[in-house]
Structure 1
Amino acid sequence: MSFRFIHTSDLHIGRRFANISEPADGNLRGRLMEARFDKIRQLANAAREHGAEHVLLAGDTFDSATPSRQVLRQALAAMRDALEVHWWLLPGNHDNLRNAEPVWDEIVKDAPENVHALRATDVVEIAPGVALLPCPVPVRTTGRDLTKDLPGIATPEGMLRIGLAHGGVVDFVESGEQIPPDRDRSAGLDYLALGDWHGRLQVTPRTQYSGTPEQDRFKHGVRGQCLAVTLAQSGAIPEVAAIETGSFLWSNIGLPLHEGEDTALTLAALLPTADRRNTLLRIKASGWTSLAGHAALGVAAERHAPEFALLDLISERVGTLHNVTDLDAIDQAGAMRLAAERLMAEAGNGALAEAERDIAAAALNRLYAYATEGAR
């Protein structure tokens, strides 16, 4: 027999993105929240397009144990709209059984017929000849392997065995669980669908993390994905295809600077040209440049930033090459010139602590930017 399903995890519906710097005239947080909610529709489309009738969500459907009633009800309604798809929801560490008990009670009580809450470890036959072995997370941090009982759970011979769990196999674990990397073999699983890690990761051909369908951090450098998994028969190697579902790209880029380089042009050459509106970009500058180079880099970042969902320039680690010409641009005499000379001396004083030198250099860069602002 052949069985195909969608493996996804870590949807985190309701996340507020309080750590994101909101542009003064933008609605980035609202767009990010809505993108996560829209993934329900995207996952349903992926299921339809790949001939799958089941979506297995390996934990953290909701970002917290107390999503608002509106968030919960609208999520269930969106799943109901895809009536031909069965949604199998596993409690994760964010929406664990203990803290989110009222949420799971309401799902069991009021969810549409195609939405299933996996609150117990009982085997569920989700399709003829297909056994789902869920491992719900009981509390936010258990400190134990929730898949440890899978080897002892029997199913009829020839039946496909699919494990569904939330936790870590390696040291990226967030919730405390440690799942052996050979659990698929020891439990005789045809596939182990994992959640908790927000990037795609193949542990073995039968044990995989789908990653989140909508990224939420500057870590993985690709848009969110889900996996279309096909099991041809019991014991066969799964066929796994990644499907891009993410609306936003979170990207970390390094910007090395060298003496004499035009920092504005170097930055411009580094920026992606496509889909800037849906790109969150963190640029970590390093190396050396002059006071004028620092100022030009900041101005260029401000000029390009409105084209992106977010452009965050981190330039604290860029060293400053000081020269008299730079000081002349601040002032050729008077109090500002004296202040600039003192800051330059402190920035280059090896007898001072590094933190003090960094503060002096940053203050000198700011003074230069203020003094030359009218000339730009």
Structure 2
Amino acid sequence: MRILHTSDWHIGRTFHGHSTMDALADVLGALIDQVRDNAVDVVIVAGDVFDSATPAGPAYTLLGDTLAALHDTGAKVIVTSGNHDSAARLGFQARMLRDGIHVITDPLSVGTPVTIDDADGPVHFYGIPYLEPAIVRQHWADVPLRTQAQTMVHAMGLVGAAMAEHPGRTVAIAHCFAAGVDATVGLEREVRQGGLDVVPLDVFDGPDYVALGHIHGRQKLSERVRYAGAPLHYSFGEQHKERGSWLIDLDADGLVQVEWLALPVPRRLVTLTGTLDEILSAENVAAHADDWVCAVYTDAVPQAEPMRRLKQRFAHCAMVQHQPTTVDAHQERSYASRLKTAVSDTERIEAFLEHVRAGQGPSERELELIEEVLDERVIAEALV
């Protein structure tokens, strides 16, 4: 049996305010071609189908069109819900889908396999939707479920018990943060903020293959346990990570091989670092005019209207950051302490400018303007 493992489509997510719907449609179209070209029998989508619990209409349309096209290749499709999905909304849509497309969102279905046969016999797919402990503990009141790890241990225990009753090859599908993940890959917002705890890797012992979702970069935690990552880049932090899916082959005895199938990148992401003038150089513009650009300019002083200037040269500049490389020569004296010793308003303004401009105080011309404004204020107060 040949299986394609994908995840984290995040249909409806924006990229720095820009819609990703058309780009994702193109990438999913390429994925459909890969399913057809490689004679895939089963496609797994391991959670976070949508980016929001309340997706807009076009997101449903893209999902429906993609699932129908995958089905038309002759492949079966198994989808589980992730932490971004509304299990109720995704599950409601499942009732309207054609045979051969399985959408698993009900916690009580854990341990009930989707069984698909090939020439070597049955393959049992155990889908585990995202299980929020505070929500699902009502279903298993006799089990202490306070953490994601405890919840996944219980879920895989149900899978293990079902495996004993259903002999054959087994694939598990889950959406969680497993131990051993490389922290440099694209991490979900909840992971970065500490909202999800780590699931020990040995929890997934048993199945021939474990298809995980939730991490946006591909990860090989073991030969049998992997993350496919997202099919599209959703942040500049993911820009150096390949996009694609895992192609898994099972024979009569279990896992044979796993191969990476890369997906196209509709628009490259690049981070340009240097002074603003360096970033705006003709060489950079020629090389990156069609890329998504994150500009990190290192000028000592914040530049006027940097985003406007960048967009004039880079139509797809999505982000600008000011990170000066100069070191404040007066950093041993805090801004607060300088204010305490400042005698005049001029000195207070100088201290402020040094604080916000990495130690660079006002120029001679700026000092003249400061004095003029302060003199005008004194005159105005005298006339009141």
Distance 1:363 1:193 in 2: 58
Residue 176 of structure 2 is aligned to residue 176 of structure 1:
no
Distance 2:270 2:98 in 1: 37
Q: Match for residue 93 of structure 2?
A: 106
Q: Which digits, 9 at most, give the CA deviation of each residue in 1:138-170, with x for residues without a partner? A: 449773235422443325787221110001014
Task: Tell me how far 1:316 sits from its aligned partner.
Answer: 4.2
Q: Match for residue 9 of structure 1?
A: 7
Distance 1:298 1:304 in 2: 10
Distance 1:159 1:246 in 2: 38
Match of 2:101 among 97, 104, 115: 115
C-alpha distance 106-239 of structure 1, shift in aligned 2 (>3 A): closer
Tell me the secondary structure at the aligned position of residue 251 of structure 1. Answer: strand
Q: Which amino acid aligns with 1:35?
A: A
Q: Is the 8 A contact 1:40 1:79 kept in 2?
A: no
Task: Tell me how far 1:74 sits from its aligned partner.
Answer: 4.3
Tell me the secondary structure at the aligned position of residue 314 of structure 2. Answer: helix
Match of 1:281 among 264, 275, 293: 293
Q: Which amino acid aligns with 1:204?
A: S
Match of 2:40 among 52, 65, 80: 52
C-alpha distance 247-155 of structure 1, shift in aligned 2 (>3 A): farther
Q: Is the 8 A contact 2:306 2:320 kept in 1?
A: no
Q: Is the 8 A contact 1:264 1:297 kept in 2?
A: no
Q: Is the 8 A contact 2:4 2:40 kept in 1?
A: yes
Tell me the secondary structure at the aligned position of residue 126 of structure 2. Answer: strand
Q: Which digits, 9 at most, give the CA deviation of each residue in 1:31-71, with x for residues without a partner? A: x2222244432221111122212210000111122223453
Q: Is the 8 A contact 2:30 2:263 kept in 1?
A: no
C-alpha distance 269-111 of structure 1, shift in aligned 2 (>3 A): same
Task: Tell me how far 1:91 sits from its aligned partner.
Answer: 0.8
Q: Which amino acid aligns with 1:225?
A: G
Q: Which amino acid aligns with 1:126?
A: I
Q: Which runs of 5+ in 2 are unaligned?
A: 136-146, 329-344, 367-384
Q: Match for residue 65 of structure 1?
A: 53
Q: Give the alignment of 1:161-200 within 5 angstroms.
A: 161-170=170-179, 172=187, 174=190, 176-184=196-204, 186=205, 188-200=206-218
Give the root-mean-square deviation of aligned CA atoms: 3.8
Distance 1:60 1:304 in 2: 35
- TM-score norm. by structure 1 comes to 0.69
Residue 76 of structure 2 is aligned to residue 86 of structure 1:
yes
Distance 1:192 1:219 in 2: 26
Q: Match for residue 342 of structure 2?
A: none
- TM-score norm. by structure 2 comes to 0.68
C-alpha distance 301-240 of structure 1, shift in aligned 2 (>3 A): same
Distance 2:174 2:231 in 1: 17
Residue 114 of structure 2 is aligned to residue 124 of structure 1:
yes
Q: Which digits, 9 at most, give the CA deviation of each residue in 1:299-339, with x for residues without a partner? A: 97344212xx3353323425499xxxxxxxxxxxxxxxxxx
C-alpha distance 281-111 of structure 1, shift in aligned 2 (>3 A): same
Distance 1:197 1:140 in 2: 20
| Identity of matched residues, % | 18
Tell me the secondary structure at the aligned position of residue 105 of structure 1. Answer: helix
Q: Match for residue 161 of structure 2?
A: 152
Distance 1:123 1:299 in 2: 55
Q: Which digits, 9 at most, give the CA deviation of each residue in 1:180-211, with x for residues without a partner? A: 22334x2x222111110111111112111100
Tell me the secondary structure at the aligned position of residue 63 of structure 2. Answer: helix
Q: Is the 8 A contact 1:5 1:230 kept in 2?
A: yes
Q: Which runs of 5+ in 1 are unaligned?
A: 22-28, 322-341, 368-376
Distance 1:140 1:362 in 2: 54
Q: Is the 8 A contact 1:93 1:140 kept in 2?
A: no
Q: Is the 8 A contact 1:202 1:209 kept in 2?
A: yes
Distance 2:104 2:90 in 1: 12
Distance 1:181 1:241 in 2: 21
Distance 1:355 1:223 in 2: 43
Q: Which amino acid aligns with 1:244?
A: L
Q: Give the alignment of 1:336-355 within 5 angstroms.
A: 352=351
C-alpha distance 190-225 of structure 1, shift in aligned 2 (>3 A): same
Residue 234 of structure 2 is aligned to residue 234 of structure 1:
no
Q: Which amino acid aligns with 2:128?
A: C
Distance 2:307 2:64 in 1: 45
Q: Give the alignment of 1:201-216 within 5 angstroms.
A: 201-216=219-234
Tell me the secondary structure at the aligned position of residue 95 of structure 1. Answer: coil
Q: Match for residue 372 of structure 1?
A: none
Q: Is the 8 A contact 1:158 1:234 kept in 2?
A: no
Q: Is the 8 A contact 2:310 2:317 kept in 1?
A: no
Task: Tell me how far 1:296 sits from its aligned partner.
Answer: 12
Q: Is the 8 A contact 1:162 1:190 kept in 2?
A: yes
Task: Tell me how far 1:238 sits from its aligned partner.
Answer: 3.2
Q: Is the 8 A contact 1:89 1:116 kept in 2?
A: yes
Q: Match for residue 357 of structure 2?
A: 358
